[in-house]
Structure 1
Amino acid sequence: MDSDRVILIVLDSVGVGALPDAAKYGDEGSNTLGNIAAAVNLKLPNLTRLGLGNIIPLRGIPPVGVPAAAWGKMASRTAGKDTTSGHWELAGLILERPFPLYPHGFPPEVIAPFAEAIGRQVLGNKPASGTVIIEELGTEHMRTGYPIVYTSADSVFQIAAHEEVIPVEELYRYCKIARKILTGEHAVGRVIARPFIGEPGHFIRTDRRQDFSLEPPQPTLLDAVTAAGLEVMAVGKIKDIFAGRGISRWIHTHDNMDGIDQTCNYMREGERGLIFTNLVDFDMRYGHRNDVAGYAAALEAFDRRLPELLAGLEGDDVLILTADHGCDPTTPSTDHSREYVPLLIYGQRIRPLNVGVRSTFADLGATVAELLGVPYRLHGKSFASMLLK
């Protein structure tokens, strides 16, 4: 019997240990969840009950004899460790080539047409932490009106601007211009608007960030679900990551708690299909800032809200918790880390068993499709038959 709904929640960057090829990415020894647990006295009773401690050894989070959920972990087959390719692989699309990276900034053939199109020069044009570069260049930005352009170890073209210097809608227009320029060999995964407010020495990024992703080059799970006549309800930056493809309804969110609220709202509506949520705070607010205590507090805040999500499940609903990559705040790097991602699957019809180590995130996409009774001809091997009672 098909499930009426699958609620798929991505705990952005909550990785569970370095992949075998992590050293190629400079990520040997990364273990976002494991290293946080080793550094902080984590209290995650609800996730523990589901089986979080059964996935990998975690200090203070013991394995349980009979978890409430099925558990396991997944490896990525896509080359890279970014948000877009991670989510696409979860949805059955494996990239053959990684997105381009710019460790020395963007070349003239990108920057020159961008500056000409917006009628302004740019500041920065280098890899940087977002909070650091606005402190470094924010004052000059306010004096000149030039936007701050920067990248990271991920395939991103980020544009930061003070909301009183370049209004947010104008910043979004700049991002759309950049998105049109960044094609072919320079087709970065995402162009990101990074608005901020405040005064020199006290700049604060606002929650009006917006991502302008490439459109997936091939169909994904989302297309399969909508083609079957079911709803895909996107919460957080899911709509941006998939460039709106295969999405019936969507809502942007302010933070993790708002993301949980909006997920619960969609659950109460009772529509058949897929609720796909990204909770970005783990990554954006804490992982990239090497804020171990903040990351731990965010995990505990999610754990406290987990009973609401479980209580909102009806009949044959299935709740899935996973991630898209790592971002270990205990390492010197402030970038994403190449890691396994956790897998917890809960529902009345779900057997509490170990689904093992899946060789690709796409196995989850195939499984979601089978749980929903949706035709699926993409990457991945479904393990739904293992799960169902």
Structure 2
Amino acid sequence: MRKRAIVLVLDGFGVGAMADVAQVQPRDQGAHTLASLVRAQGHLEIPTLLRLGLGRIAPEAGLPPAGTPEAAWGRCNLAHHGADTYAGHNEIQGNRPRRPVIALFREVADAVRDRLVQAGHRVETAIPGGSALLVDGQILVGDNLETDPGRIYNVTGPLDAVPFDRILRVGRLVREVARVSRVIALGGVRITVDDILAHTRNTPAGQTGVVTPELHIYNEHYRVRHLGYGIDPAVQAPSLVAATGLPVAMIGKMADVVECPAARWRDPVVDTDLVLQQVLEQLDQMQGGGYIAATVQETDLSGHEEDPAKYAAILARADRGIARLLERLQPGDLLIILADHGNDPLIGHSLHTREQVPLLVTGPDVRPVDLGVRTTMADVAATVCDHLGAPAPEFGTSFLGLLH
């Protein structure tokens, strides 16, 4: 029997704060993304997720009484530190999280400068009083101002003046020196280095970086590569499945944050309807088997905007797309729905929340059983590899045997 696996991540869709949140991320105490959505909206238009068993996962959220679930259900703990999209997605794909260092860019700026100069680049201070560096007169290296201080560095350049490969080479040199969670190489069109410098700020927290949203760099032509700390794509599910000869498709945010050079299809599409449509299209093309990994990102974006009404509307669109996907599943298919962290729109801040995530697993051959609380989201990757006959990833325990 040919087999297919689909992993669909509802980005930022948490179901309650982790037990360690008081020690690890105290600001997120009491976080519960799903319960906040129910509290704010009164009713969520998610009949498909309810039918699969979401209410059984989180009865405390105030959802309608749950009947007999049609899917296997459970929760996953986060094994990575904090609550991060990049770390979360790579954990889902079987990466064993490494504890990164938290350091403002100013703490490593001299070492980064030395490495760049050693590689033949011209380096100068970007703006007065700050630590950010301007490389070759075009590329700015500094703090990421969109997340907690000291976790991510950005390498930003204008694509009309510098090819993305050069921006990425600079990013890789920074990655050699830095031990923070991520280095993001980012290029945009219709911007100049003067625009980048005009949107570079020194913050009270000691950061120096680009206010990226105000730069309007995020459009259909931008380029990005996330360079993670301790990430080896070769031991993650997409690369392991591709090595067996099966096709792999990466859709939505998944295509941005998880590397798989052998993937047949990659598209970092953001629109929720387009994400689900591409999942259907790729499923149709994988009649001989394969693996689809996709992310609905707009849920997370709505959480960042602290807009529960928008979040609920996006979730409803995703639910309708999931309903269409269920109609197309055939014997041998495995659909796994989960999240990567929380993003509670009512918690009082606009950052990710450290929450457990829901786990729903379905397919024509899957029996509805309680999967319990999984130690790590990497169990998903282990299950995908087990289902498709690929070697096990570096982290995670398969629950395939519980499904049949």
TM category, shorter: 0.7 to 0.9
Distance 1:356 1:59, change over 3 A: closer
Distance 1:289 1:173, change over 3 A: farther
Distance 1:366 1:145, change over 3 A: closer
Report the counterpart of residue 298 of structure 2 in structure 1.
Answer: 281
**Is the aligned partner of 1:76 residue 2:78?**
yes
Q: Which amino acid in 2 is paired with 1:299?
A: L
**Is the aligned partner of 1:310 residue 2:326?**
yes
SS of residue paired to 1:183? helix
What is the Cα deviation at residue 8 of structure 1? 0.5
Once residues 98 and 279 of structure 1 are traced to their aligned partners in structure 2, the CA distance between those partners, rounded to angstroms, is: 26
Report the counterpart of residue 55 of structure 1 in structure 2.
Answer: 57
SS of residue paired to 1:65? coil
Any unmatched runs of 5+ in structure 2? Answer: 131-136, 200-212
User: Which whole-Å deviations, capped at 9, do the CAs of 1:168-220 have from their partners, x for residues lacking one?
Assistant: 86567435412322224435424052748799998645333523323723612
Q: Which amino acid in 1 is paired with 2:224?
A: Q
Distance 1:328 1:196, change over 3 A: farther
How do residues 290-369 of structure 1 correspond to structure 2 at under 5 angstroms? 290-369=306-385
What is the Cα deviation at residue 246 of structure 1? 5.5
Cα contact 2:105–2:142 (8 A) shared by 1 = no
What is the Cα deviation at residue 158 of structure 1? 3.0
Query: What's the TM-score, normalizing by structure 2?
Result: 0.79
Once residues 203 and 300 of structure 1 are traced to their aligned partners in structure 2, the CA distance between those partners, rounded to angstroms, is: 31
Once residues 180 and 73 of structure 2 are traced to their aligned partners in structure 1, the CA distance between those partners, rounded to angstroms, is: 36
Distance 1:58 1:158, change over 3 A: farther
314-323 or 199-208: which moved more?
A: 199-208
Once residues 318 and 87 of structure 2 are traced to their aligned partners in structure 1, the CA distance between those partners, rounded to angstroms, is: 24
SS of residue paired to 1:213? strand
Q: Which amino acid in 2 is paired with 1:9?
A: L
Cα contact 1:231–1:272 (8 A) shared by 2 = yes
Residue number among 66, 69, 75 corresponding to 1:67 in the alignment: 69
Cα contact 1:110–1:181 (8 A) shared by 2 = no
Report the counterpart of residue 21 of structure 2 in structure 1.
Answer: 22
How do residues 125-274 of structure 1 correspond to structure 2 at under 5 angstroms? 149-151=142-144, 152-153=147-148, 155-158=151-154, 167=160, 170=163, 173-193=166-186, 195=188, 204-207=216-219, 208=222, 210-214=224-228, 216-217=231-232, 219-245=235-261, 247-269=263-285, 270-274=287-291
Report the counterpart of residue 109 of structure 2 in structure 1.
Answer: 108
Once residues 305 and 262 of structure 1 are traced to their aligned partners in structure 2, the CA distance between those partners, rounded to angstroms, is: 10
Query: What's the TM-score, normalizing by structure 1?
Result: 0.82
Distance 1:34 1:196, change over 3 A: farther
Once residues 121 and 170 of structure 1 are traced to their aligned partners in structure 2, the CA distance between those partners, rounded to angstroms, is: 22
Cα contact 2:103–2:151 (8 A) shared by 1 = yes
Cα contact 1:51–1:63 (8 A) shared by 2 = no
Once residues 318 and 351 of structure 1 are traced to their aligned partners in structure 2, the CA distance between those partners, rounded to angstroms, is: 11
Once residues 298 and 125 of structure 1 are traced to their aligned partners in structure 2, the CA distance between those partners, rounded to angstroms, is: 42
What is the Cα deviation at residue 322 of structure 1? 0.6
SS of residue paired to 1:182? helix
Once residues 247 and 337 of structure 1 are traced to their aligned partners in structure 2, the CA distance between those partners, rounded to angstroms, is: 31
Q: CA RMSD in A?
A: 3.4
Once residues 72 and 129 of structure 2 are traced to their aligned partners in structure 1, the CA distance between those partners, rounded to angstroms, is: 45
Report the counterpart of residue 44 of structure 1 in structure 2.
Answer: 46
Cα contact 1:82–1:155 (8 A) shared by 2 = no
User: Which whole-Å deviations, capped at 9, do the CAs of 1:68-117 have from their partners, x for residues lacking one?
Assistant: 1111111122333222221222222212x322334576642266469974
Report the counterpart of residue 202 of structure 2 in structure 1.
Answer: none
SS of residue paired to 1:34? helix
98-107 or 199-208: which moved more?
A: 199-208
Cα contact 2:270–2:298 (8 A) shared by 1 = no
User: Which whole-Å deviations, capped at 9, do the CAs of 1:30-55 have from their partners, x for residues lacking one?
Assistant: 11222222222322111111111111
What is the Cα deviation at residue 267 of structure 1? 0.7
Once residues 124 and 61 of structure 1 are traced to their aligned partners in structure 2, the CA distance between those partners, rounded to angstroms, is: 53
Q: Percent identity?
A: 29
Cα contact 1:11–1:322 (8 A) shared by 2 = yes
What is the Cα deviation at residue 348 of structure 1? 0.8
Once residues 123 and 17 of structure 1 are traced to their aligned partners in structure 2, the CA distance between those partners, rounded to angstroms, is: 42
Report the counterpart of residue 206 of structure 2 in structure 1.
Answer: none
